[in-house]
Structure 1
Amino acid sequence: MIPAARVQAAVEILDIVIAAARDDGPPADVVVSNYFKTRRYAGSGDRRAVRELVYRAIRRSGERPVDGRAAMLGLDDAAALFGAGGHAPAAVGDGEVAAGERLIPGWIEGELSPLVGADEWPALLERAPLDLRVNVAKADRDSLLAAFDGAEPTRLSPWGLRLPADSQIEQHEAMLGGLVEVQDEGSQLIALACGATGAVNIIDLCAGAGGKALALAAAAPEADIIACDTNRGRLSKLAPRAARAGATIDVRLLDGGREAEMLDDLRDQADIVLVDAPCSGTGTWRRNPEGRWRLSPDGLDKVVALQAHLLDLAVPLVRPGGSLVYAVCSILGREGAGQIADFLGRHSSWAVHTMPDGFGEDFGRVDGGGRLLTPGSDRTDGFFVARLKRSC
């Protein structure tokens, strides 16, 4: 493909990404992959170059562009090839303008945690490295350092390895053997915040595909862990991952709207309940920058209400003296410190609990009743995590 044809391909992909963001369709990486499945003539260099154009345009535009042409016109080198003939995009028309350049959608700026200043915004959209979590039930980190090219220990998580962003590890023997899992360092720290040791009872209330449940099982092999979720497709991915990791995790699929009824037998049973709640995903923009195009004020209101519901759902599951760990991959105040303040206002028998041994004072910054980790400050994805304790 000539350079102009690559620009046209990027325009076509961006049209699909913009529509998917508007209509809750597949993420950008899936769109790119699907596009090239039907275009076998594109070599690896072409695919890499087009993908780079697509993500440059996405990162440049905090607000959702009107179409792929507007997004691509924002890149000067790409815009110069419009109208070049052949397979190039058509020439720029009268009145046609590029999408505006900004990092953060305007309406979200006021929602950010006060800790996230404008000097940190560029880091929210930098390309993320690839982090692995060593399965400490089967291996130790030092022994695996030499197994991956360019690997280094993560700074905060005692279980983590950091690899270059382009690392291909899907068929690596350590991956296939259950010695490592792909997991951002910040996500590993959420499991660490649970302080799981010995034969404790743990409920992972929003387990998804089970990444944090697996981390907890590795850290506390004697623990009794129940992974719950309402999404059958995501939860079904846990069993093969657990088998590969040598972990024993019970799975409970919940019916939406009947969660409390289906969890009633676990009342007052859990030493630890983890609520890794659905959220805005603002902490993962460096991995999914088009996520900025999916958010809306109404959508944020709905997810904040869901988080409060899940926290309230967790309360009766925790035994007296037990812990509730709340986490979101968000850097927005209402989803983090604000959510915890509201929870404590509703539940007088609960209080903010200190983080466990191993969760250092330099892990994130104090944000209300929890800690906030950000790409600019901690070199992790953006996460808020709080540990709460039920009175005895």
Structure 2
Amino acid sequence: MTPAARISAAIEVLGDLEARRRPAADALKDWGLSHRFAGSKDRATIASLVYDSLRRKASAAWIMGEATPRAVVLGMLRLQRGMDPEAVAALCSGERFAPEPLSATEREKLAAASLEGAPAHVAGDFPEWIEPSLRRIFGEELIPEMQALTTRAPLDLRVNALKVRSREEAHDALPHLGAIETPLSPLGLRIAPSEDGRGPAVQSEPEFIKGWIEIQDEGSQLAALLSAARPGEQVVDLCAGGGGKTLALAAMMENHGQIYATDGDTRRLAPIHDRLIRAGVRNVQVRTPRSGADAVTDLNGRIDCVLVDAPCTGVGTWRRNPDAKWRLRPGSLEVRRKEQATVLDRAASLVKPGGRIVYITCSILPEENDEALEGLLQRDPGFDVVKADELLASAGLSTLSSFVRMTSHGLQLTPGRTGTDGFFVSCLRRR
């Protein structure tokens, strides 16, 4: 496919998203099935165009003066890809499979492209209704922080200390990936996003198959490290899902002590078993709920650390899932808040005196972070909030204090401050 034909395809996919309001991955898959002549590179490039358009949907529509799929793609090429009007016009020749030629108005809009005077939700490309929440956490840094969430995320790897002596050993085994060491996590390697949005096939690498590395955002790595899980402890990963943080905890604990991994959604636990074997983990029991029954009732009051990687809106992952921002609704936030209250109450019943709850979300909304913890503290006054400085020191990460944003009950990682996905981490200790 020609570059122009790929632009036309991206416009077509965005039109499908607008009409059917579904995940971009589904629309892209259906487009690929109905256009089998498109090769893998074509499909990857079209996906990159679609996701970049969704990242800049509001600002692209603003500079073009309309929000049609064509206008959004053209505006994105100007704002996100930095193409001048002539370069955009060259792709819109109207020839076979190419978009129609630019109108005089479109040329003028592209030439004058500016976000000066744009409201915050346009300049930052986010739904207008969450602006009050975001202002409470970011204040005057709102627009640059949200603009950081419109960039492409890198591919981060966590080096598995159960299999590899050092990060340097893993790095030296993968020179062809062009990875660099992550600046904040002592266990991370980072691969920059490619021009066409395609990443390397890490999962086919021998080092991945041998369990040397796992795919995990640096922010997620830091969140696991902030749990300060120690060898010999009794730990519950209450929302374990596919096991990313479970694996990180096992490596931190050097396979000593016990981790109980469970999740209310049994389907999410499916990948964890093979991942544990590949990573060389021996101190994890996977507790799969049966018929909706609680799988860790026998552990009430016995646990040193309960990790709560809570269900949330995922606002902090918008670099990777830009279509999700435009599907977010107030009702979905309320659903997540209720789920967070339920899982925090369950965590509280597991912790022994002196034990701790480590609460994590991939969200930047105060309602899901500080306010969720405030709710637990009101329902169960037997907990104290561990101060952020103490939390960082206990994990050996005091140098993070100059990067993270401190909140009333925890700390916030963001693309703008830490170069990671948006994560919130807090620790509560039972008296």
Deviation at 1:325, TM superposition (A): 0.3
**Residues 102-117 of structure 1: matches in 2 within 5 Å?**
102=123, 103-112=125-134, 113-115=136-138, 117=142
SS of 1:110's equivalent in the other structure is: helix
**Residues 166-315 of structure 1: matches in 2 within 5 Å?**
166-220=199-253, 221-248=255-282, 249-254=284-289, 258-259=293-294, 262-315=295-348
Instruction: Name the structure 2 match of 1:161.
Output: 189
Contact kept, 8 Å, 1:176 with 1:244, in 2: the verdict is yes
2:56 is aligned, of 56, 60, 65, to 60
Instruction: Name the structure 2 match of 1:143.
Output: 169
Matched residue type, 1:345? Q
Matched residue type, 1:254? P
1:50 is aligned, of 37, 46, 49, to 46
CA RMSD of aligned residues (A): 2.9
Matched residue type, 1:160? G
Q: Which has the higher contact order (CA 8 A, sep 6+)?
A: 1
The 1-side partners of 2:14 and 2:226 are apart by: 39
Matched residue type, 1:54? V
Deviation at 1:110, TM superposition (A): 1.2
The 2-side partners of 1:224 and 1:371 are apart by: 27
Deviation at 1:372, TM superposition (A): 0.3
Contact kept, 8 Å, 1:4 with 1:84, in 2: the verdict is no
1:365 partnered with 2:388 = no
- Over 3 Å counting, the alpha-carbon distance change for 1:311 and 1:243 in structure 2 is same
- Over 3 Å counting, the alpha-carbon distance change for 1:369 and 1:297 in structure 2 is same
- Over 3 Å counting, the alpha-carbon distance change for 1:32 and 1:146 in structure 2 is farther
Matched residue type, 1:8? S
SS of 2:398's equivalent in the other structure is: coil
Residues 127-181 of structure 1: CA deviation (Å, up to 9, x unaligned):
1111111110111211111222322221221211112223331211110101110
Number of aligned positions between the proteins: 383
Matched residue type, 1:282? V
For normalisation by structure 2, the TM-score amounts to: 0.81
Deviation at 1:252, TM superposition (A): 1.7
Matched residue type, 1:236? A
For normalisation by structure 1, the TM-score amounts to: 0.88
Contact kept, 8 Å, 2:287 with 2:296, in 1: the verdict is no
Instruction: Name the structure 2 match of 1:132.
Output: 157
Query: Identity of aligned pairs, percent?
Result: 41
Residues 60-113 of structure 1: CA deviation (Å, up to 9, x unaligned):
1149997644533544669856681533456899x9999x95512111111125
- Over 3 Å counting, the alpha-carbon distance change for 1:83 and 1:296 in structure 2 is farther
Instruction: Name the structure 1 match of 2:419.
Output: 379
1:334 partnered with 2:356 = no
Contact kept, 8 Å, 1:230 with 1:255, in 2: the verdict is no
Contact kept, 8 Å, 1:72 with 1:79, in 2: the verdict is no
SS of 2:429's equivalent in the other structure is: strand
| Structure 1, 40-49 or 310-319: larger mean CA deviation | 40-49
Matched residue type, 1:42? A
Deviation at 1:198, TM superposition (A): 1.5
| Structure 1, 346-355 or 271-280: larger mean CA deviation | 346-355
Contact kept, 8 Å, 2:231 with 2:252, in 1: the verdict is no
The 2-side partners of 1:228 and 1:48 are apart by: 35
Residues 8-57 of structure 1: CA deviation (Å, up to 9, x unaligned):
2112222344466x3xx44x345435533553422455334323321221
1:317 partnered with 2:319 = no
Contact kept, 8 Å, 1:74 with 1:101, in 2: the verdict is no
Gaps of 5+ in 1: none
